[in-house]
Amino acid sequence: MPDTPALGLRDRKRIETRLRIETAAVDIVTAEGLDGATVDMISDRAGISPRTFFNYFESKEDAILGTQDMGEVQRAIAAGVASAETDDLVAAIVSTMFQIFGPMAARTQLKAQRMALVQEHPRLLSRQIHQFTQLNSTMAAAVVEFLNKRETTLPRDPEHVAEIAVATCVASVRIAVKEWIADGATADIDSMYLRSIGLTRETLNTLQ
Amino acid sequence: MPDTPALGLRDRKRIETRLRIETAAVDIVTAEGLDGATVDMISDRAGISPRTFFNYFESKEDAILGTQDMGEVQRAIAAGVASAETDDLVAAIVSTMFQIFGPMAARTQLKAQRMALVQEHPRLLSRQIHQFTQLNSTMAAAVVEFLNKRETTLPRDPEHVAEIAVATCVASVRIAVKEWIADGATADIDSMYLRSIGLTRETLNTLQ
DNA sequence: GCAATAATTGCAGAGACTGCAAAAATGCAC
DNA sequence: GTGCATTTTTGCAGTCTCTGCAATTATTGC
């Protein structure tokens, strides 16, 4: 780990404010529904002005989803797939996703609450899919790297094959998470991971 | 084909108005960009009041995408997969998609223009993905049917495997279309279909 | 033609979001 | 701690999307 550059008061406050907004957003939407929650209400509970809300988030939906710095996540994903120790592509993709999103998903009440909201409100799901779509190309690029390193015979069309591979794995993670939520969000990350891999394998067998 | 029940003036006008709105929306967005185009401008060109615009479409994006009756499409998809003559699941899914969306996509200038817009504007893409996501469960159900009929050994988890299978095939269709657009939208539907199948096969081989 | 039904419209209003410039908070050098 | 530069917050005015409601107009079946 590189030295944390000793965040000053200004930065710490910013992070804290951001979290306060996210929490307020999720709480109010949980209580009042997606349309019942207004930016005014959220700002009010977070103790900021409505104008400041939009300094932190582009939209109400982003605040609810807690859109984090996607650049950060992108770099983590690329690094994760590239440095995977396995030669198994499915395992490389899925485990990278779990390394990155797993801790987010399972540890805090906020994240669990948020995931439930996403299942409940199609509009949020759509926005989240949009975020993931932006990640897909990064992941696909990392997968092409992966293939370049290990396979002697590359697919004829590595970029496009990589995109489909990513779509497949992402779908299996999404479905494992969906079931995790349906089960009351009790199981641990490892079992989600295993389930996700299992689903992918079964699907491949079925499709072949 | 069942007799068309001889649409009256009222219904014909409605269909025509709907089309005028879609066309106006696509034209103006093409010219002015997604944010440059307002509902007022679109309504104006379509010769209706802004209020009427919202009688036809829930949002600006829907007008641009020309959201058609999804119930119709859902039934067509279910029927298509169920009645596929092949035993090859990938072929069944992909060819059904092409049967339904192919004619839409390739025949008219409007549709081609629309597809270009979707590639260009991430916000539209995510909205469209969202629409497809809603189709996914219908398709997945049809796939489970398909598996029930043909496979002696069902996957342990047919519903979820079906969802992932659908996601995989949809992704390959999406990417084939994307490349079709990139190539200037010149190739025919058959070559898109073959390309889509080919991509899926290559991906499966790579992932196995 | 006439009544029933459906489509269009205007209007008023809520809510999301933006640009701008003033005010407050913070960081840093002295 | 004082003063100055930089950020952050905020208020305000304004645009745009979208909704409910009630009046108006068009289509239909009789």
Q: Are residues B106 and B57 in the same domain?
A: no
pLDDT digits over B22-60, tens only? 999 999 999 999 999 999 999 999 999 999 999 999 999
The CATH number linked to A23 is 1.10.10.60
pLDDT digits over B123-151, tens only? 888 788 777 777 788 888 889 989 888 86
B201 touches strand D (CB under 7 A): no
Strand D nucleotides, any atom under 7 Å to a protein CB = 7-12, 16-21, 27-29
Of the listed ranges A106-115, A133-142, A160-169, the one predicted with least confidence: A106-115
Residue B99 has what pLDDT?
81
- Tell me, yes or no, whether A1 lies in a domain: no
Which residue among B28, B48, B65 closes a domain? Answer: B65
Q: Band the pLDDT of B100: cuts 50, 70, 90.
A: confident
- Tell me, yes or no, whether B3 lies in a domain: no
Percent of chain A with pLDDT over 70: 88
Residue A67 has what pLDDT?
72
- Tell me, yes or no, whether B185 lies in a domain: yes
Q: Band the pLDDT of A71: cuts 50, 70, 90.
A: low
Q: Are residues B46 and B132 in the same domain?
A: no
Residue B110 has what pLDDT?
82
Identify the sign of the CA torsion A38, A40, A46, A51. positive
Do A106 and A19 meet the contact criterion of CB atoms below 8 Å apart?
no
The segment with the largest mean pLDDT, out of A102-106, B59-63, B180-184, is B59-63
Give the 3-state secondary structure percentages of chain B, helix then strand then coil, rounded to 5: 80, 0, 20
Do A163 and A142 meet the contact criterion of CB atoms below 8 Å apart?
no
CA distances from B118 to A35, B34, B65, B100, B195 (A): 27, 10, 8, 18, 21
Q: How far is it, in rounded angstroms, from Cα B116 to Cα B39?
A: 20
- Tell me, yes or no, whether A106 lies in a domain: yes
Q: Which residue of B has its CA nearest to A132?
A: B126
Residue A2 has what pLDDT?
41
Residue B16 has what pLDDT?
93
Residue B81 has what pLDDT?
87
Q: How far is it, in rounded angstroms, from Cα B80 to Cα B93?
A: 8
Percent of chain A with pLDDT over 90: 33
Do A140 and A168 meet the contact criterion of CB atoms below 8 Å apart?
no
Residue predicted with more confidence, B103 or B116 = B116
Q: Are residues A43 and A139 in the same domain?
A: no
Q: Are residues B52 and B148 in the same domain?
A: no
pLDDT digits over A24-69, tens only? 999 999 999 999 999 999 999 999 999 999 999 999 999 999 876 5
What's the token pair of residue B192?
A: 């898109």
Q: Are residues B61 and B80 in the same domain?
A: no
Q: Band the pLDDT of B1: cuts 50, 70, 90.
A: very low
The CATH number linked to B102 is 1.10.357.10
A78 touches strand C (CB under 7 A): no
Q: Are residues A41 and A118 in the same domain?
A: no
Give the 3-state secondary structure percentages of chain A, helix then strand then coil, rounded to 5: 80, 0, 20
Q: Band the pLDDT of B3: cuts 50, 70, 90.
A: very low
Q: Are residues B184 and B165 in the same domain?
A: yes
Residue predicted with more confidence, A179 or B64 = B64
- Tell me, yes or no, whether A103 lies in a domain: yes
* Average pLDDT of every residue of chain A: 84
Residue B65 has what pLDDT?
92
In chain B, residues with a C-beta closer than 8 Å to the C-beta of A122 are 130, 134
- Tell me, yes or no, whether B127 lies in a domain: yes
3-state secondary structure B96-112: HHHHHHHHHHHHCHHHH
Q: Band the pLDDT of A77: cuts 50, 70, 90.
A: confident
- Tell me, yes or no, whether B4 lies in a domain: no
Q: Are residues A186 and A102 in the same domain?
A: yes
CA distance B8 to chain A (A): 36
Q: Are residues B127 and B199 in the same domain?
A: yes
- Tell me, yes or no, whether A174 lies in a domain: yes
3-state secondary structure A50-71: HHHHHHHCCCHHHHHHCCCCHH
Residue B164 has what pLDDT?
92
Does A202 sit within 8 Å of B156, measured CB to CB? Answer: yes
Tell me how many domains chain B contains.
2
Nucleotide lying nearest to A7, CA to C1' measure: C27
Nucleotide lying nearest to B49, CA to C1' measure: C9
Q: Give the distance, in angstroms, between the CA of residue A204 and the centroid of all CA atoms in the same chain.
A: 24
Q: Are residues B147 and B170 in the same domain?
A: yes
Does A147 sit within 8 Å of B207, measured CB to CB? Answer: no
Over residues B59-84, the mean pLDDT reads: 81
Residue B2 has what pLDDT?
46
Residue B177 has what pLDDT?
81
- A15-41 CB burial, b ≥16 within 10 A, e <16: eebbebbbbbbbbbbbeeebeebebeb
Q: Long-range contacts of range A62-69, CB-CB < 8 Å, 24 or more positions apart?
A: A62/A127, A63/A21, A63/A22, A63/A25, A64/A22, A64/A25, A64/A26, A64/A29, A64/A34, A64/A114, A64/A117, A64/A124, A65/A114, A65/A118, A65/A124, A65/A127, A65/A128, A65/A131, A66/A22, A66/A25, A66/A26, A66/A110, A66/A114, A67/A131
CB–CB contacts below 8 A, A to B:
108
Residue A7 has what pLDDT?
59
Q: Are residues A130 and A192 in the same domain?
A: yes
Residue A9 has what pLDDT?
67
Specify the residue for token string 């995408």: B65
User: What is the domain range of residue B184?
Assistant: 70-207
Which residue among A49, A65, A81 closes a domain? Answer: A65
Q: Are residues B38 and B96 in the same domain?
A: no
Do A160 and A106 meet the contact criterion of CB atoms below 8 Å apart?
no
Specify the residue for token string 């995977």: A84
CA dihedral A35, A38, A39, A42 (to 10 degrees): -110
Residue B75 has what pLDDT?
76
pLDDT digits over B150-192, tens only? 866 888 889 999 999 998 998 898 888 888 877 776 777 788 8
Nearest to A161 among B127, B155, B206 (CB): B206
Specify the residue for token string 């290990």: A150
